[in-house]
A and B are shown apart, each in its own frame.
Chain A
Amino acid sequence: MIHFENVGKRYASGREALSGVSFNLEKGDMAFITGPSGAGKSTLLKLIALIERPTRGTVLVDNQNTSRIPRRRIPYFRRRIGIIFQDHKLLADRSIFDNVALPLLISSLRHREVSRRVRAALDQVGLLEHEKFSPLSLSTGEQQRVGIARAIASRPALVIADEPTGNLDPDLSLEIMRLFERFNQVGVTLLIATHDIELIDKFNCRRLRLDQGRVVEMPKSNGL
Chain B
Amino acid sequence: MSFIYRYLSLHYKNLVDALTRITEQPLGNLMTIVVIGIALALPAGLRVMVSNISTMSDSWDAAADFTIYLEMTVDETRANELARNIEQRTDVRRAILIDRAQALVEFQNYSGFGEALETLQVNPLPHALIISPTGGSTSDVSELAMALEGMEETALVQLDTAWVKRLRSILELALRVVDIVTVLLGFGVIIVIGNTIRLEINNRQDEIEVIKLVGGSNGYVRRPFLYSGFWYGFGGGIVAILTIWGVLGLVNSPARALAELYDSSYRLIGLNFMETLMLLGTGGLLGWAGAAIATARHLRDADPE
Chain A interface residues (CB < 8 Å from chain B): 49-53, 71-72, 74-76, 78-79, 83, 85, 89-91, 93, 102-103, 105-108, 110, 150
Chain A residues near B218 (CB, 8 Å)? 72, 75
- Selected from B207, B220, B303, the residue in CB contact (under 8 A) with A106 is B220
Which residue of the partner chain, among A79, A102, A106, A108, contacts B7 with CB atoms under 8 Å? Answer: A108
B214 touches A78 (CB 8 A): yes
Q: A108-B10, A110-B2 are in contact. Are A83 and B302 (CB under 8 A)?
A: no
Other-chain residue from B6, B10, B211, B304 in contact with A53 (beta carbon distance below 8 A): B304
Q: A216–B213 Cα gap in the complex (Å)? A: 29
- B162 lies within 8 A of chain A by Cβ: no
Contact of B217 among A49, A75, A85, A105 (CB under 8 A): A75
Contact B215 A75, beta carbon cutoff 8 Å: yes
Asked if A91 and B214 sit within 8 Å, CB to CB, the answer is: no
Whether A89 pairs with B303 at a CB distance below 8 angstroms is no
Interface presence of B249 (CB below 8 A): no
Contacts of B303 in A (CB 8 A): 50-51, 71, 74
Q: Are A102 and B214 in contact (CB under 8 A)?
A: yes
Q: How far is the CA of A53 from the CA of B305 in the complex (A)?
A: 7
Docked-complex contact A106 and B2, CB < 8 angstroms: no
Contact (A106, B215) CB under 8 Å given A89-B209, A89-B210: yes
Q: Is B216 located at the chain interface by the 8 A CB criterion? A: yes
4 further interface pairs, Cβ-Cβ under 8 Å (given A53-B304, A89-B209): A49-B213, A75-B216, A83-B214, A102-B214
Are A78 and B215 neighbours in the complex by a CB distance under 8 Å? yes
Chain A residues whose CB sits within 8 angstroms of the CB of B7 once the complex forms:
108
Enumerate 6 A-B pairs (CB-CB under 8 Å) in ascending A order: A51-B304, A71-B301, A89-B213, A103-B215, A106-B215, A106-B216
* Distance A62 CA – B269 CA, assembled complex (angstroms): 69
Shortest beta-carbon distance from A16 to chain B in Å: 17
Min CB distance A201 to B, Å, is 30
**Provided the pairs A51-B304, A53-B305 are in contact, do residues A107 and B213 lie with their beta carbons within 8 angstroms?**
no
Of B214, B301, B305, which is within 8 A of A103 by CB? B214
Q: From A76, A90, A110, give the contact of B215 (CB < 8 A).
A: A76
Interface residue? B206 (CB, 8 A):
yes
Contacts of A49 in B (CB 8 A): 213
Q: Could you mark each residue 214-239 of chain B with 1 if its beta carbon is under 8 Å from any beta carbon of chain A, else 0?
A: 11111010000000000000000000
